[in-house]
Chains A and B, each alone.
Chain A
Amino acid sequence: GAVVSQHPSRVICKSGTSVKIECRSLDFQATTMFWYRQFPKQSLMLMATSNEGSKATYEQGVEKDKFLINHASLTLSTLTVTSAHPEDSSFYICSAYRRNQPQHFGDGTRLSIL
C-alpha cells in the first residue's frame, strides 16, 4: 500500500513553544492532504484540508492562526502548532489523498505540552 511518512513521532515541549509536524507522501503525488486530531479512545476528528499551492480549509472550531498548514508540494504538507499550550496535547495524524483512491495515513505525532 501507499506510504505516508509523518515526523516527528513524538514531541515533548514547554508551553509557548511552536511545533512543526511534517507529512510526506513517499510513493504517490497527493492532490490533497488532511490533518486530524485524535483524543484517547476517540475517533479521528478532521482539523483541516490542505491542497497543494492553495490555502488550507479549516473545519469549524479549528483556529487557523493556531494551527498553520503549509502544502508546498504534492508530496509534503506541514502543520505548525503555534504557541502550544497543554490543551493542545494530542495525537495528530495526517493523510494523503488522490482522486478515486483511499486516504493513506501517517503513523501520527504524539504531542505533549508541559
Chain B
Amino acid sequence: EDQVTQSPEALRLQEGESSSLNCSYTVSGLRGLFWYRQDPGKGPEFLFTLYSAGEEKEKERLKATLTKKESFLHITAPKPEDSATYLCAVQASDDYKLSFGAGTTVTVRA
C-alpha cells in the first residue's frame, strides 16, 4: 500500500524566513509526485509534478525537489500570502489514483 508522510504538521515562519517541508513516500513504482496548495475552505490548487529522482521544479518562491524516498518543498523568503496547507501526493505507476499525505500547514507572519 502506498504511504505518504509529511512533516512537520505545522510550520510558523516570520516573513522572509526560508524553510523546507518534507514528504516521505513509499510506492510500488512512482508515476509522479504532486504538490498542491490548499487554502481554508477551498479545494487543492496544483503546484508541481515531479517524475524522477533528481528532478526540480520552481514557481516564484517555491521549489520542489525529488529523491527516491522523499520530496522537499522549499519556500524561499516567504510572504504572508504563502500561508496555506501544502499537500503532497503520489501516483503509482500502475494506477491513476492519488495517495495524499496529511499536509503541512504553513503560517507566515508579517
Contacts and interface: CB of A to CB of B under 8 A. Distances in A.
Interface of A: 1, 4, 6, 32, 34, 42-44, 46, 49, 91, 93, 95, 97, 99, 102-108, 110
B87 interface: yes
Contacts, number: 46
Contacts of A108: 41-43
Given A103-B98, A104-B46, A108-B41, 20 more contacts: A1-B45, A34-B97, A42-B102, A43-B101, A43-B103, A44-B44, A44-B87, A44-B100, A49-B97, A91-B41, A93-B44, A97-B96, A102-B34, A102-B46, A105-B36, A105-B43, A105-B45, A107-B41, A108-B42, A108-B43
Q: How many interface residues does chain B have, given as a range?
A: 10 to 19
Interface of B: 32, 34, 36, 41-46, 49, 87, 96-98, 100-103
Contacts of B34: 102-103
28 contacts: A4-B43, A34-B98, A42-B102, A43-B87, A43-B100, A43-B101, A43-B103, A44-B100, A46-B97, A46-B98, A49-B97, A93-B44, A95-B43, A99-B96, A102-B46, A102-B49, A103-B34, A103-B46, A103-B98, A104-B46, A105-B36, A105-B45, A106-B43, A107-B41, A107-B43, A108-B42, A108-B43, A110-B41
